[in-house]
Amino acid sequence: MKKENRGNEVTVVGLGYVGLSLAVCLANRGFRVVGCDLDSEKVERINRGKPPIYEPHLKNFLHNSLKKGFRAFASIVPSYINFIAVGTPCDERGKVDLSQVQKASEELGYSITKRNGYSLVVVKSTVPPGTTENVVKRAIETLSGKKFGEEVGLVMNPEFLREGSSIEDTLNPDRVIIGEYDKRSGDTLLKLYRIFYSGKMPQFLRTNIVNAELIKYANNAFLATKVSFINMIANLCQKIPAANVDVVAKGIGMDRRIGKQFLRAGPGWSGSCLPKDTRALKSIFSDAGVESPVLDGAIRMNELQPLKVLELIKTSLGTLKGKRVAVLGLSFKPNTDDVRDSVSIKLIKLLVEKGAEVCAYDPVAIENAKMTVQNQNNVHGRIHFASSVGAALEDADCCVVVTEWEEFGRLDAKDFSRMRNNLVVDTRRILNSSDFDGVKLISVGVGSMDTFAKGEN
Ligand code: NAD
């Protein structure tokens, strides 16, 4: 009889930012990988070598993976190890929608009925405490009729990658968290990771499932709190002549107890993870009857931050009625086309509500932004998309730099000379050309002496 040695056979269910990055990284490192996504258009694109999302290196990794035999399917093809990486969106009140997890688990359960031998299920999706056991395990057990511990193993293995560097982060994570149902489950996943990372196994923590679920939420809430904190300091710096939040952040970050990451002040944290995960954690606290004043403060601070940017614009421009505002950047951060919960779109809505016409530009996220705003009557028709920075700036009364795309950092006075008025609000302090003559540059977090050093006050 053939010896069971299927440690390199992997299925990834859900081919979004997390699942596709994981699948192509595993395939590139020699694993036999099958990808599954219920979006058949996405599946077809992937099999044609066309990444459905923008991520640095993803195209090359996908091409290589396809050469090595990686294929995507619109239904679940189970393997020895099965990752669930489907979406877990969350409503305004913080209730996590687990329907994708439920459906994927049911389908996986049904499909593994036909497998002989042991199968491991690994939950990568971010899920509230209790979900892995109560939703995933229950659905798989019911649909497969297999016994956990004997025929099926279970691990909650949260993902910490950052969009914009998802391939790099998948290959070199800070750590691996293994929330195991039993020892065999943990051993099986650890064995896969030891091969995947070869000689460079990251530090790892083995724990129970519920701790792993909580680690992910607590991690994102901590990062969000750190950014909210520096944003609060930025707003103070703004009012103090010669103060500069970047210098303050640098000084704070030199303290090893604090660290320099996530101390970039700006218009507020946004994107597909921090807003939804902080909302979800707030609701988890509330369900548990436990107060969460620090988290509540971080969220509140973040709601105020785009309003602060609006205030800066209004203070200089007066009324926004009939004014044309160029918004540079739509994705929530550079090197991604993800606009989910993007602060840029939030700011655009605020500008439009105040009567402005917005002309927005982004190097890769325009299509996603168009889809996001097309059903929003209050914005639709008042926002136009430009094909270049120059076209966005043409005849603008004000320009707001929202996303830290590298190309925006290279802009100078000549680029802004095509504007009707000369107001530029740099929410990320990336405009670093020495030539800003004739431009009224306001940088978020920079006190007025610096702020107006190159322009009129
Ligand atoms: P995504 O929305 O980009 O992708 C999810 C994919 O799952 C979609 O392609 C969808 O079609 C597919 N899907 C849904 N139901 C399915 C089913 N029943 N069978 C097969 N496919 C199905 O999501 P994402 O951004 O990759 O996030 C996935 C999970 O990872 C979420 O829980 C998220 O919170 C977490 N996470 C995301 C990031 C990130 O930066 N995006 C980082 C860490 C963790």
Please give the class, per CATH, of domain 232-443: alpha beta
Token pair, residue 153, equals 């193993």
DSSP state letters, 77-109: ---SEEEE-----B-TT--B--HHHHHHHHHHH
Token pair, residue 287, equals 């369900």
CATH number assigned to the domain with residue range 6-207, chosen from the 4 options 3.30.413.10, 3.40.50.970, 3.40.50.720, 3.40.710.10? 3.40.50.720
pLDDT of 292: 98
Residue 129 CA, ligand 1 centroid: distance in Å: 18
Q: Where are the domains of the chain?
A: 6-207, 232-443
232-443 shares the fold of 6-207: yes
pLDDT of 379: 73
The alpha carbon of 416 is separated from its chain's Cα centroid by a whole number of angstroms, namely 30
pLDDT of 279: 97
pLDDT of 457: 33
Closest CA to 361 of 382, 340, 331: 331
The atom of ligand 1 lying closest to the CA of 36 is 20
DSSP-H helix ranges across 376-457: 389-393, 406-409, 413-416, 448-451
Q: What is the pLDDT of residues 87-143, one digit of tens each?
A: 999 999 999 999 999 999 999 999 999 899 999 999 999 999 999 999 999 999 999
Residue 87 CA, ligand 1 centroid: distance in Å: 3
pLDDT of 449: 59
Protein residue with least CA distance to atom 20, ligand 1: 37
Pocket test for ligand 1, best of 36, 100, 140 (most atoms within 8 A of CB): 100
Residue 127 CA, ligand 1 centroid: distance in Å: 11
pLDDT of 342: 96
> Which residues of the chain are modeled with pLDDT < 50?
1-5, 450-457
Q: Please report how the helices 293-317 and 209-238 are oriented relative to each other, as an axis angle in degrees rounded to 10.
A: 30
- Does ligand 1 lie within 6 Å of residue 34's CB atom? no
pLDDT of 433: 73
Helix (H, G, I), strand (E, B) or coil at 324: strand
With beta carbons less than 8 A apart as the criterion, state whether 201 and 193 touch: yes
Question: Is 273 marked active-site?
Answer: yes
pLDDT of 207: 98
pTM: 0.94
Q: Which amino acid is at 291?
A: E
With beta carbons less than 8 A apart as the criterion, state whether 275 and 241 touch: no
